[in-house]
Structure 1
């Protein structure tokens, strides 16, 4: 599995907890962050985006007490037992974040940032087919609309700039073609997870970069899986509390498959013995430090080799020859 660390910044979940703590200590009923506590915001309905044979399962609302946290575990039904994605609706003052996930279930926690009771509602994207993706939504945060009138930049959607013509993303990559992707809008404290695919005579994704409008506020993390070497799966987050931003992903597409296609599909960690010296840690140098680990395992029973990756406490492995 290849992991691109260029522009790979994903904030730690502790950022959300710190934000909630500031709000909780600001004084009951004062709501200094400007949230409308009566506003329940609908989800983006992304739970079935790109999910084959998808069933959208909306769960009962979860009540989060004032200035408290509340976590619930949600499961896909027997008819569609494989969880692929999730999305949430919530009161504006409730931050929602994933804390655990497995093949069938996800545990989601709401953090109430005010002294007023709030709720969140989770929708699952469930499938009859085993999960074959690689990026799952981590959280959903909403900006306080009472501060919208004080933004430095307007919330209004602006026309997208022309697509980039910068070819530097291909530097050092053989038989490479730049393939810019359409501009996308990301809301305040919003996240999108999407696959970006190389096409035509240069079908393999080798690298990527991105640009955004406005002040720097977008972070991104992307991976190319062995089983889908043509696609970069990228998680992007807008850390601007108050304004939408547009972002353009630029792919470096090649005639050369960097992964070789030799490993199998993504699966759970078999927890076999770790091969000594195979552990690596990749850390970004940006303003929000985050590290990704990978390593190799070999099972004693059948000598099967696995390549494993840990990203934000979510571990996956692929069986490989060798």
Structure 2
């Protein structure tokens, strides 16, 4: 049975140009995603700076924006190359086999990354696997396939452009349409990271309030009574004792891995001051929570952040006592850190190295 072959003409140069744009979007998405992974699971050689305080807010915003931009670019790329998927023979040469194989792997991995990434951005997980490691692993597959594909197609950039037939969308028109679609997609979603665009970002949250990803009820944290103590080394601090210590106030953002971010004014005790009062030498600090279970019930604060004067055990937000959902009686807030590592309902600080 003969498989019908699309008759629409498409310029290899158009496909190559879109492929370059897609490569840039995927490259940005991959690098910023890799940074986010290393910040949360740092290898020994990795050190993430504390300044500027909104650095993670920027990198994760770029991660989500470039991922969103990649969606129309990927669809346009597929539109320009799909007639070649029906060509016969299936394999003409080794480069041709690499081209076709890389396209299939790239499409599969890319759609997985973009679809699961969009679900993650909306905190909706209709699958059984754990999102972060799967997303991380498939990202390497997608980037590898993309590099192979670009290497095979690079010689096309040196060949003359094909003449566009009359009555069809011009090469320039198609590229402008694709670029415009990518720009609109980014504009519609980037408001979660860029507050002044929130009013026009119809697909992002428009709330100016500080969001809550995990409530106290979901974390199994009930009302905290007067018996609560913060353990720092051998010292124990009551809430009243923490409130009596010198306080620092700073405006710091919470930037979530899902892409949204929001700034607030936090007041609390610098972690380095608490370590000094407890007679503990600064180092990497394990921060433990009252949360009963879950992979984010504790976090490790790198020594660089632990020594930073703006890394706080916050007692107030925007001048008010912390609500329970935001971590009462105290929570960690540090510059340039993912929201999942800004541990709430803190009960212990322990230097681990």
TM-score past 0.5 threshold: no
> What is the TM-score normalised by the length of structure 1?
0.20
Higher CA-based Rg: 2
Q: Give the structure with the higher percent helix.
A: 2
Q: Give the structure with the higher percent strand.
A: 1
